Amino acid sequence: MSTLDRQPAGVAQVGVGTRAVPPGMDATEWSLRLDLAACYQVFDFLGWHESIFNHISLRVPGAQHHYLVNPFGLNYAEVTASNLIKVDLAGVNVDASPWRGNPAAFAIHGAIHSARDDAQCVIHTHTTAAMAVACKRAGLRHDDFYGALLHGDVGYHDFEGITVRTDERDRLVASLGRHNVLVLRNHGVLVTGTSLPHAFFRYWTLQRACEVQAASLAMEGPDVILDEAVRRQSGRDASAFDPAGSLPRVVFDAVVRRMDLVRSRQTVDWRS
């Protein structure tokens, strides 16, 4: 079931576009396409886009490790469920499409999808806050609420230039290791998730951590540094907070609804 099919009782119906599975399309893949297209639209809505660059990829079930990604040349606001392209690990289109992908996407996303079975979704961005943190020698600090939640789950990869060379793939995967967040030094960040909502929620946490860190370092006065034991406990608490794993979907669906409400200029009657 996709985001557009989940509207809580009493909430305005704001989804747009067809929900019917196109002829010849697997129902599971169509549901994934709807979620991924919604995610691109949300990133545009929240200002986390970088013109036509950066990528959010989502694996399609199957032994071939095919995955969906944005067509290179489209703005995030132009991405739809039907124009997403499906590629193999080498970045070659699996289905007929007038669009191709960005070679940089294949070097990063193809490498991670190939090496990590649990990395169903990979998000890579160049937001200003994330790039600012990536340019700091100390990287992401764990001294605020959001940064502390990511303690123990962040890896680092040194900048080697534009990520288009296949020989960097193994080094990038090694830098990620078993972490779910990777700071690409002087470049940007990426996150992985066992599903799109999990990757989105992790990225949302990371983005907030980067924004808070950038704002804090711009202010005068000493920072309050968390004790290492508190950082470790925060990371453990974050992992144990949602044992059922349902919160990421709730968060993602809520953001999609908010985006649709704002874009359609609708409001919820809070008096009801």
Segment 40-94, tens digit of pLDDT: 999 999 999 999 999 999 999 998 889 999 999 999 999 999 999 999 998 899 9
Describe the crossing of helices 27-46 and 196-217 by its angle, rounded to 10 degrees: 10
pLDDT mean over 159-176: 94
Indicate whether 220 belongs to any domain: yes
Q: Which among 12-16, 41-45, 161-165 has the top mean pLDDT?
A: 41-45
Say if residue 8's pLDDT is above 90: no
Residue 219's identity, in one-letter code, is M
CA 93, CA 71: separation in Å to the nearest integer? 11
Indicate whether 272 belongs to any domain: no
Indicate whether 151 belongs to any domain: yes
Task: Please tell me the predicted confidence (pLDDT) of residue 3.
Answer: 54
The helix/strand/coil state of 165 is coil
Indicate whether 270 belongs to any domain: no
pLDDT tens for 127-156 read: 999 999 999 999 999 999 999 999 999 999
Say if residue 18's pLDDT is above 60: no
Indicate whether 267 belongs to any domain: no
Say if residue 10's pLDDT is above 50: no
Local confidence band at 24 (pLDDT 50, 70, 90 cut-offs):
confident
Indicate whether 268 belongs to any domain: no
Local confidence band at 15 (pLDDT 50, 70, 90 cut-offs):
very low
Task: Please tell me the predicted confidence (pLDDT) of residue 1.
Answer: 54
**DSSP per residue over 207-272, as a string?**
HHHHHHHHHHHTSSS---PPPHHHHHHHHHHHHHS-TT--HHHHHHHHHHHHHHHHHTT----TT-
Task: Please tell me the predicted confidence (pLDDT) of residue 2.
Answer: 54
Task: Please tell me the predicted confidence (pLDDT) of residue 138.
Answer: 96
pLDDT tens for 184-240 read: 999 999 999 999 999 999 999 999 999 999 999 999 999 999 999 999 999 999 989
Q: Please name the residues in contact with 39: beta carbons below 8 A apart, sequence gap of 6 or more.
A: 56, 196, 200, 252
Local confidence band at 17 (pLDDT 50, 70, 90 cut-offs):
very low
CATH of the domain at 26: 3.40.225.10
Domains of the chain: total: 1
CA 158, CA 178: separation in Å to the nearest integer? 17
Q: Which domain holds residue 135?
A: 3-262
